[in-house]
Structure formats: structure tokens, C-alpha cells
Amino acid sequence: MRRTLPALALCVALLSSSAAVQAAPEPPPGTTFSYGGHPRQTLTVYGDGGPALLILHGGSWVRDTDWSGWARWFAGQGFTVYDTDYRLATDAAWPAQRDDVLAALRWVERRSGERPLVLGSSAGGHLALSAGAYGAGGTRVRGVVALSPVASPHRAWVDGGRPAASSAQRGLRRSAQLLAGCSPDRGGQRCWNRWADLAAKSHASGPDDAPMLLAHSAGDFVPVAHSAELAGAQSRLGLTDVTVRTVRGSGHGGPLLSAPAMAQNVLRWLQEHS
């Protein structure tokens, strides 16, 4: 009996400890986690229990843009949102950025138990499409919404070198070259291979890739040709769930969500693909 009582006490203590761990509350909304060792390899979580949605900000691969407002809005619509940061072109050259997104996706899948949806804006749209089309993208991504995606950084580099290029296009050209780490017109075969790898269409594999909703404005400085080219390649390879939309105005990236009915259309698409 003397041996039995301590044993029972130990069992009770272990069960109580286990229950305490299981009952531990979820971190409050807006909690930031690390998915890697670099200071920029972080994601901030909003919402809990809904379908996983990973957001990738724009900024021409060289700066941050604030998506916390829209992250909270999507969380309010029932998603668990992962507002994700990644190494910039000033931190590391390509493919470090794609590697970061793939690592973040693995982190989210381990936490949520499901393939996430991804929403990316501008340069973040490029990264979202890269994740959704790299290898068998559909095995890691449930669906991609890309707003003004720079689907072809080489096209952006060419457009930014034209005499009539806007300041935004010229800036994007410089950022694309920094991302690639070389100039495509004098970098040799190794350089050109990196520019080819940057293009989302280079990795298109049709039905093995994630469904895609691609959107630009009519006056977007990243023209709809970026998305039309990718959608054409995916369609030819057999991806049937790929849509390109053009909205009025000259908005770019996140501001497209403020176009009439656009936020609701994006929300509906994400819900349908959850």
C-alpha cells in the first residue's frame, strides 16, 4: 500500500500536468513567431481555427509594406491569417526569398494541419505564384490569389528600361536586378538561368499546380501581361482553375482590394478554395 499511494500520486500529477498543457490558451491575435533563424523569417498570426491563409507583402523585394489591416480583416471573415515576412533582396539574392516562403508554408502546415491558401501582392504576388507553381505546387498550396504579381521579373526589367518607363517601373527594374544578382544582358548563361528561374511560368506544371486568381488594374505599372502569360502557360498544360481579372483604375497591389466588390470577390474565391 505504501508503494501504491506514491504511484497514484505520481499518476495524478502527470495527468494534471498533461491537462494543463492541453488547456494552454492560444497566443493572442497579433503574436509573431519565427519560422527560421534570420530576423526577417517571421510571421504574425491573426484569428484562430479557420482555414489557413498566408499573406506575402509587396515592396519590390527591397522593403516592407503593411498588411496588418487586411490581415485582421480576413481574420474577421473566418480565416487564420499568417502575415509573413521574408528576406529581402538586400539580405540575400534569389532563390532565398522562395526558400523562405516554402519554409513558412511548411511551418503553417505543421501548425494548422492543412495546406494554406496564399495571398500575395506585387513582389509578394511573384513569391506566391512561385510557391504555387514550383514543383508540384498544389501539394503545398491550396490556392493562390496574386494582386499585381510581378510574375516575370525579366519582363519588369525590360519594361523599366524603356524610354517611356515610369519611375515606378524604373525602380522595379533596379530591384529585379538586385534580386537576381546580375544583369540579364551581360551576365552570361549562369545569370540567365537565374532570371529564367525567377519567372513563375518557368515552373508551370498545369494540374499539379495550385488554382490561381490573378488581378491587375487597367493602368497598373505591372501590366496584366505578366499574369496573362502565366495563365496561358498553365492553361496549355492543363490547369483549368486559373483566372485573370482586370479592374478599373491604376491601383497596384493591396489597393486593388478597395476596387468595387474586389475584396468580396477575393473573399468568395478563397472561401470556395478552402
CA distances from 213 to 97, 118, 203, 269 (A): 21, 11, 17, 8
- Domain layout of the chain by residue ranges: 27-151+206-272
> What pLDDT score does 27 carry?
66
147-165: pLDDT as tens digits:
999 999 999 999 999 999 9
Say if residues 124 and 57 touch (Cβ distance below 8 Å): yes
Position 11 scores a pLDDT of 42
Residue numbers in the chain where pLDDT is lower than 50: 1-24
Collect all residues with Cβ–Cβ distance below 8 Å to 55 and sequence separation of at least 6. Answer: 67, 70, 71, 74, 81, 82, 83, 84, 118, 119, 120, 124
Cα separation, 215 vs 262, whole angstroms: 10
pLDDT of residue 25: 54
- pLDDT value for 2: 40
Contacts with 14 (C-beta within 8 Å, 6 or more apart), sequence order? none
Which residue from 216, 249, 248 is spatially nearest to 230, judged by alpha carbons?
216
For residue 113, CA distances in Å to 132, 134, 140 come to 18, 21, 11
E-assigned strand segments in 26-183: 31-34, 42-46, 52-56, 80-84, 117-121, 143-147
Res 23: pLDDT = 41
Q: Are 214 and 227 in contact (CB under 8 A)?
A: yes
Q: What is the pTM of this model?
A: 0.89
Per-residue pLDDT, 195: 98
> Which CATH number applies to 27-151+206-272?
3.40.50.1820
Q: What is the pLDDT of residue 240?
A: 97
pLDDT at 18: 44
